[in-house]
């Protein structure tokens, strides 16, 4: 899946939370209780996996090779789900392991467990399926590639901002529900390590894109952190560890309460923007004002969804001018970023402290420049023409400089300031931090201060639980040993500084990090599956 299918799909069908029943949702124990004078069935689901039942044997073809696997679907992974559909997962196991076979040098005991999430736009993620053609029809998806490489796949559905509980009463997927579910799914696997026919629960590798990339990073950073315990208890998660081995994060929309500053540090001075069509659809679904439309004018239907060359989400062709207020906030946010960077005391690979002066210049900016230079140089070396990128300076086949002041106008701005914590509470992230009755909230101090009349602040504990930065290097969690982080060189859903900060913080804490900005990539994921699985093989096979 090159771009979050769920962002597109879920938004197209509207903010529906699908509630369905199937044979898989068999109650193991049923008791009746009365809550607030409403009689409800309180159902407890077994956390014990039974490998002998409820599976199908299936096959799919990848590069002419048939991959046979057992598929277990819709396994509820918590004892007390708020939404059965959103808290269930699919498990796929290569058939060879049932004959004690080997695939890619893995055995049923050593096979790593690939654990992708399908979250996009902070919407609910569906349980993944192996597919011969991914969303754009140009090759097998990550799950099928994983199976063909001998991995067991555990693909959980996860609650998101539009999930309504099975009781029909409340929005049960607001923060921190997404990470609580991902952790619960990991715990379910560990709880069943003896019952699983194959797969090493000490080799779980998460994967996700965008909001799903943020979630994958968060899972990797927060292993066993006690702060999540009450939420895990509430849904009846297994009493097990939830640390993982490795985390693969494509364009993570993370560190949300600082992402507005980072965005303006890069895009300040570009005073118009082009939204993605999914954002327009999201605003329409939620009855929000569409920027650029006259107040009261009905939302325009978005243009047809199609991918551009860089697998970027389709940008609206409508250029919208920032308001004077947005330009002023942009200046405030840009000015606040250096203090944040300097507070982190990040160091590059040579041990150089990465800082910014008041104007936003300094070694951190040079570091970001270096990432773009490397990306452009690699593109050149592989025979690509980079001359259309006017911000890249090439002399005799060597990229000698990139002009970070020219980059933003060339990449174009996608979000007005503030990019994430909108003053009118209209963003996906405001919705994500919203209340059980679906009232969006602020999550960053600057937006809240700036527009104190509108909206409440999400509670500080919830904000903390959604940011991996709060758990790295301080002994508060077991961090995954390995991270692979990608953020395309023309991605402007968030700015490169955000994944770079995450990568540096991890690296500075002794974690193995593979961080790169691929040339000409927009906001997308899973576009380099051979490299991804080579990387996973390399870390899994190292003794």
Applying CB under 6 A, the residues found at the interface with ligand DHB are 4, 7, 120-122, 210-211, 253, 428, 493
**Alpha-carbon span 483 to 254, nearest angstrom:** 15
Nearest position to ligand DHB, beta carbon: 210
How far apart, in whole angstroms, are the C-alpha atoms of residue 194 and residue 108? 12
CA distance 492 to 110: 39
- To ligand DHB, the closest distance from the beta carbon of 390 in angstroms equals 25
What are the percentages of helix, strand and coil residues in the chain, rounded to 5? Answer: 30, 20, 50
- Least Cα distance to 250 among 538, 535, 521, 537 occurs for 521
State how far the Cα of 420 lies from the Cα of 433, in Å rounded to an integer: 11
Least distance between ligand DHB and beta carbon 45 (Å) = 29
Shorter beta-carbon distance to ligand DHB: residue 238 or 315: 315
Q: Do residues 303 and 314 make contact, with C-beta atoms less than 8 angstroms apart?
A: yes
CA–CA dist 111, 103 (Å, integer): 8
Least distance to ligand DHB from the beta carbon of 251, Å?
8
Report whether 467 contacts 254 (CB < 8 A): yes
Cβ(151)–Cβ(114) under 8 Å? yes
CA atoms within 13 A on the CB side of 452: 1
| Secondary structure class of 339 (helix, strand, coil) | helix
Q: Which is nearer to ligand DHB, 144 or 428 (CB)?
A: 428
- Cβ proximity to ligand DHB: between 116 and 121 the closer is 121
Residue 177 or 428 having the CB closest to ligand DHB: 428
Q: 122 or 515, CB closer to ligand DHB?
A: 122
Q: Which is nearer to ligand DHB, 4 or 371 (CB)?
A: 4
Kindly state the smallest distance separating residue 286's Cβ from ligand DHB, in Å.
Answer: 14
Query: Residue 453 and residue 466: Cα distance in Å, rounded?
Result: 25
In terms of C-beta density within 10 A (0-12 exposed, 13-18 middle, 19 or more buried), how is residue 39 classed? Answer: exposed
Element (H, E) at 531: helix 529-541
With respect to ligand DHB, which residue has the nearer C-beta, 360 or 418? 418
Task: Give the shortest CB-215-to-ligand DHB separation in angstroms.
Answer: 9
Shortest spacing between CB 523 and ligand DHB, in angstroms: 6
Nearest distance from C-beta of residue 420 to ligand DHB, angstroms: 6
| Least distance from ligand DHB to the Cβ atom of residue 384, Å | 25
For ligand DHB, the closer CB: 198 or 428: 428
């Amino acid at each position: 899946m090159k771009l979050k299918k769920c962002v597109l799909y879920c938004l197209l069908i509207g903010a529906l939370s699908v509630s369905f029943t199937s044979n898989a949702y068999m109650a193991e124990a049923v008791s009746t209780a009365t809550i607030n004078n409403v009689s409800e069935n309180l159902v407890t689901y077994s956390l014990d996996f039974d490998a002998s039942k409820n599976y199908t044997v299936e096959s799919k073809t990848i590069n002419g090779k048939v991959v046979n696997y057992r598929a277990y679907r819709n396994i509820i992974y918590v004892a007390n789900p708020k939404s059965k559909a959103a808290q269930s997962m699919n498990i796929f196991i290569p058939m060879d392991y049932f004959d004690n076979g080997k695939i890619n040098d893995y055995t049923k005991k050593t096979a790593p467990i690939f654990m992708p999430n399908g979250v996009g736009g902070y919407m609910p993620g569906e349980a993944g399926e192996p597919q011969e053609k991914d969303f754009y029809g140009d090759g097998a998806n990550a799950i099928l590639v994983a199976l063909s490489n001998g991995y067991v796949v555990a693909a959980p559905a996860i609650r998101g901002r539009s999930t309504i509980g099975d009781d029909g009463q409340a929005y049960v997927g607001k923060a921190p529900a997404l990470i609580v579910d991902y952790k619960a799914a990991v715990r379910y696997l560990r709880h069943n390590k003896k019952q699983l026919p194959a797969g090493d629960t000490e080799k779980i590798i998460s994967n996700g894109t965008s909001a799903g990339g943020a979630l994958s990073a968060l899972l990797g950073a927060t292993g066993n952190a006690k702060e999540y315990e009450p939420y895990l208890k509430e849904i009846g998660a297994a009493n097990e560890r939830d640390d993982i081995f490795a985390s693969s994060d494509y364009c993570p929309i993370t560190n949300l309460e600082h992402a507005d500053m980072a965005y303006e540090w890069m895009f300040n001075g570009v005073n118009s923007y082009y939204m993605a069509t999914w954002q327009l659809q999201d605003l329409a679904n939620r009855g929000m004002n569409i920027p650029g439309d006259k107040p009261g004018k009905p939302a325009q239907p978005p243009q047809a969804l199609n991918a551009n060359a860089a697998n970027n989400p389709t940008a609206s062709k409508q250029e919208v001018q920032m308001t004077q207020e947005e330009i002023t906030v942009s200046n405030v946010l840009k000015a606040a970023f250096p203090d944040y960077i300097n507070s982190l005391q990040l160091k590059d690979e040579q041990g150089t402290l990465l800082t910014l002066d008041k104007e936003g210049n300094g070694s951190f900016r040079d570091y970001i420049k270096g990432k773009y230079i490397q990306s452009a140089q690699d593109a050149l070396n592989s025979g690509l023409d980079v001359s259309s990128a006017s911000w890249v300076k090439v002399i005799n086949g060597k990229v000698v400089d990139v002009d970070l002041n020219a980059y933003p106008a060339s990449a174009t701005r996608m979000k007005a300031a503030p990019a994430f914590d909108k003053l009118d509470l209209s963003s996906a992230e405001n919705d994500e931090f919203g209340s059980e009755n679906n009232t969006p909230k602020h999550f960053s101090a600057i937006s809240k201060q700036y527009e104190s009349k509108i909206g409440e602040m999400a509670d500080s504990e919830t904000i903390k639980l959604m940011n991996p930065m709060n758990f790295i290097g301080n002994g508060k969690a077991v961090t995954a040993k390995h991270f692979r982080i990608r953020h395309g060189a023309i991605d402007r859903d968030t700015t490169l500084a955000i994944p770079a900060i995450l990568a540096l913080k991890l690296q500075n804490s002794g974690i193995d990090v593979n961080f790169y900005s691929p040339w000409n990539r927009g906001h997308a994921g899973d576009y380099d599956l051979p490299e991804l699985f080579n990387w996973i093989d390399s870390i899994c096979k190292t003794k």
